[in-house]
């Protein structure tokens, strides 16, 4: 193992690392980047993180941002290398590698949260593709759709679809500003398909996707229908998965039905109670002597026990609560009351009216009503006359009443009506 490691390192430093470009210019740089990319892709497929990261660092040393917003010979290499770097870093971040074997920049990525990790990759990518001659914030208008799709797929892989949505919507809002950046046709279709079928469904935005497709006017009807059918299938599958994962509520234990009660006649009811109430526990030991204070408090108990012992006085003496004879007396009293109510004559209308007025119009209520409907309007009239200046509406109203020659009673009645209406209006407006 030590020998193999030494050999790999030697091959990497002597044969793989790029040399400085010669005087041939960009063609030599492109050839170097192409040879390095083939080796880096092979190392990535063999899961050799160290060699892949070393080749990536060497390649981006030869890939500065473009100078002007125009086609650049290194655009293809810049796009391929950035996609490879994003894929490598996302694979390391989403897996559990051996930290001791990782380069220091990859170790620092592992300390970030998923949202911060994707945001860092996105900001770095924008800085790579934005021309350096533009002295402004890096813009997604220069971002190739392949790189955007890779970033969005990485956000989905590490469970950050919200960041992927922000990146996609930013690209959709700024696309088409520069003609040399493809943003229509197939690039637009691929981005939109990823946005509608993978990003928004993971956020639960099913209705928003349908609304978005209804307003979209660049896709063909066949392509839009294809996306819509795929969306319906995903939605049905998601609902089925949610239904399976939701635990079923536990059924409560079955309750035993209560037995139905038969309607008993008063005679059978009293007889059944009499059979149960005769089983009274009587102490065998002689009753202890009672003091004067205890004798006064236990007089009712002694009389009750005496009443239950003598059957001759069962129906004419006061019985204790719960005894059969007391229940019989109570039931017989109810029956006698019902019979008396059945034989009594119904009250006449004057008697009903008299009882109604006697019940509702007592002395206290009459005094309250007089204060409410007579004294308060009268005081309001006096205070209004003395303390408040008359408004034009009051002057017109007073002149009209004087012209009509209203009496004092009529004026009091008008003030009463106005006071009541003002009170109701203030109460409805929440002022009272």
> Considering 204, 223, 244, which residue would you say is the last residue of a domain?
244
Domain residue limits at 233:
63-244
Compare 284 and 430 and report the one with higher pLDDT.
430
Decide if 165 is inside a domain.
yes
pLDDT over threshold 90, residue 201: yes
Decide if 163 is inside a domain.
yes
Decide if 109 is inside a domain.
yes
Decide if 359 is inside a domain.
no
Decide if 424 is inside a domain.
yes
> Considering 244, 277, 311, which residue would you say is the last residue of a domain?
244
pLDDT over threshold 50, residue 7: no
The reported pLDDT for the residue numbered 364 is 74
| CB burial of residue 39 (10 Å; 0-12, 13-18, 19+) | middle
pLDDT, tens digit, 9 for 90 and up, residues 161-190 = 999 999 999 999 999 898 889 999 999 999
> Considering 191, 220, 244, which residue would you say is the last residue of a domain?
244
pLDDT over threshold 90, residue 394: no
Decide if 116 is inside a domain.
yes
Please count the structural domains in the chain.
Answer: 2
pLDDT, tens digit, 9 for 90 and up, residues 219-273 = 999 999 999 999 999 999 989 888 887 765 555 544 444 444 344 444 443 444 3
Give dist(CA 292, CA 297) in Å, integer: 9
pLDDT, tens digit, 9 for 90 and up, residues 120-142 = 999 999 999 999 887 678 999 99
The reported pLDDT for the residue numbered 348 is 77
Max intra-chain CA distance, the chain: 138
Decide if 259 is inside a domain.
no
Which of 36-50, 333-347, 389-403 is least confident? 333-347
The reported pLDDT for the residue numbered 206 is 93
């Amino acid at each position: 193992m030590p020998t193999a490691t030494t050999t790999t390192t030697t091959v990497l430093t002597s044969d793989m690392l790029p040399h400085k470009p010669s005087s041939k210019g960009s063609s030599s740089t492109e050839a170097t980047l192409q040879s390095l990319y083939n080796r880096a892709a092979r190392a990535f497929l063999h899961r050799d993180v160290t060699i892949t990261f070393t080749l990536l660092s060497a390649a981006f040393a030869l890939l500065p941002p473009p100078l002007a917003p125009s086609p650049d010979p290194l655009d293809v290499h810049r796009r391929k290398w950035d996609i490879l770097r994003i894929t490598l870093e996302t694979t390391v971040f989403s897996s559990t590698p051996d930290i001791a074997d990782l380069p220091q920049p990859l170790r620092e990525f592992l300390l970030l949260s998923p949202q911060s990790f994707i945001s860092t990759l996105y900001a770095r990518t924008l800085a790579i593709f934005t021309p350096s001659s533009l002295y402004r914030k890096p813009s997604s208008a220069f971002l190739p759709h392949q790189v955007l799709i890779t970033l969005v797929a990485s956000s989905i892989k590490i469970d950050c679809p919200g960041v992927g949505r922000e990146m996609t919507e930013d690209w959709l809002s700024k696309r088409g500003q520069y003609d040399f950046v493809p943003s229509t046709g197939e690039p637009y279709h691929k981005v939109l398909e990823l946005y509608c079928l993978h990003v928004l469904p993971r956020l639960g935005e099913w209705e928003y996707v349908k609304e978005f497709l209804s307003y979209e006017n660049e896709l063909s009807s066949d392509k839009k229908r294809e996306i819509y059918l795929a969306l319906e299938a995903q939605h049905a599958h998601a609902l089925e998965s949610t239904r399976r994962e939701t635990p079923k509520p536990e059924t409560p234990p079955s309750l035993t039905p209560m037995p139905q009660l038969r309607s008993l006649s008063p005679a059978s009811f009293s007889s059944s109670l009499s059979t149960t109430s005769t089983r009274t526990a009587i102490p065998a030991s002689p009753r202890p002597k009672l003091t004067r204070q205890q004798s006064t408090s236990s007089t009712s108990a002694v009389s009750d026990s005496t009443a239950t012992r003598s059957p001759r006085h069962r129906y004419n003496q006061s019985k204790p609560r719960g005894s059969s004879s007391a229940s019989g007396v109570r039931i017989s009293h109810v029956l006698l009351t019902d019979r008396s109510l059945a034989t009594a004559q119904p009250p006449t209308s004057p008697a009903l009216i008299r009882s109604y007025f006697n019940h509702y119009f007592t002395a206290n209520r009459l005094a309250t009503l007089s204060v409410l409907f007579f004294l308060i309007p009268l005081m309001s009239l006096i205070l209004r006359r003395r303390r408040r200046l008359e408004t034009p509406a009051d002057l017109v109203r007073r002149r009209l009443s004087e012209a009509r020659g209203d009496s004092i009673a009529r004026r009091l009645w008008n003030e009463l009506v106005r006071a009541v209406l003002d009170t109701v209006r203030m109460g409805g407006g929440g002022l009272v």
